[in-house]
Amino acid sequence: MQTVKTKELKLDIARIGTVSAILTQPDKARACYVLAHGAGAGMRHASMDKIAEGLAARDIATFRFNFPYMENKQGRPDQPAVAHATIRVAVEEAARLCPGVMLVAGGKSFGGRMTSQAQSKAPLPDVKGLAFLGFPLHADKKPSTERAEHLAHVEIPMLFLRGTRDGLADLGLLKPVIAALAPKATLHEIEGGDHSFAVLKKSGRTNEEALTEVLDTLAAWIDSLA
């Protein structure tokens, strides 16, 4: 029977402060996903728990952490430089705690975008790919592609998981972005899913089924990196 260990710890971000983190580690983990949270909910949100539990069942560890604004219960997300520094420390700690295991990084919405920005400025050590659980290409009802410009400087594989009802990633704009990044970028659409992959009852499927598709796709993509 598989054993899953959960370890809570603190990360010290130089000149910024301390944030909380959680490592969820199955005993036969073949990879570790450094999972950054979205703008409105921290690492302990139920959706983050479900992702960590689902990936553990697929023999993939997760390293979750709070950004400083979330740790300190401040309303506005951190400046990019602060978010980038936090991500770098999280990646370093994940590598230390999961030696010899493949590292991938990314996360939900804001967290994924900050991770890709950090990677575009200087490669995150030992990270083999970036996976975005809803990349926020633009603000709601304000379609643009400016947030994707830095992706041209990312030199490792990227997976974009997008719900077909995602109002923060217009498909007509996202597809050309991903085409320009080929062959580094892969798009997988979750039918009926919104920005968080929640589906409508009339779709004929449940949120749990949509999440299963998200996690199965993510796990298969991680295996393809190997």
Condensed to tens digits (0 to 9), the pLDDT of residues 198-226 reads 999 999 999 999 999 999 999 999 999 98
CA distance linking residue 85 with residue 88, whole number of Å: 5
Residue with tokens 């298969």: 220
pLDDT, tens only, 160-177: 999 999 999 999 999 999
Whether the bond between 125 and the residue before it is cis, its omega within 30 degrees of 0, is no
pLDDT, tens only, 30-40: 999 999 999 99
pLDDT of residue 75: 85
Domains of the chain: 4-225 (3.40.50.1820)
The verdict on pTM exceeding 0.95 is yes
- Percent pLDDT > 90 in the chain is 97
